Structure 1
């Protein structure tokens, strides 16, 4: 768990998870077809950030819980 490959894998997984959840939460909170019509000001950014943060923390916990897989062993 205290190796560079582990932390590279953990970081990559966390960034990917954050990006995926951010896009999904933004789309779902407004509806993809409505964003151009209503603008981004109607998106509940606090909710989007909260969901993204929780998913990122869970991704980190998953990596730590399965350290040998994350490190590529």
Structure 2
């Protein structure tokens, strides 16, 4: 059920942190690009909103990665 979860003893925590961090940064960049693009179409970029939405996307990405990510294989 929780394949490659960070809570499994067979998963390398350091590898998981690196892979989950990379995923989170990519997700944050995608959220920022979407926020900037949408705001630019309306005429003004609200940077607080862009940063806030990007940070939230990064946190959600890390939380979603807890259930497991394919980049990190368990050593079973």
TM-score bracket, normalised by the shorter chain, equals: 0.7 to 0.9
| Ranges in structure 2 where 5+ consecutive residues have no aligned partner | 1-5, 7-11
Q: What is the root-mean-square deviation in Å for CA atoms of aligned residues?
A: 2.0
1:45-68 residue CA offsets vs partner (Å, 9 max, x unmatched): 01111111111110010011x136
Partner of 2:19: 9
Count of aligned residue pairs for this structure pair? 64
The 1:48–1:4 alpha-carbon spacing in structure 2 relative to 1, beyond 3 Å, is: same
TM-score by length of 1: 0.73
Cα distance, 1:70 vs structure 2: 5.3
Structure with more of its chain in helix, by fraction: 1
TM-score by length of 2: 0.70
Is the 1:25–1:48 contact (alpha carbons within 8 Å) kept by the matching residues of 2? yes
| Ranges in structure 1 where 5+ consecutive residues have no aligned partner | none
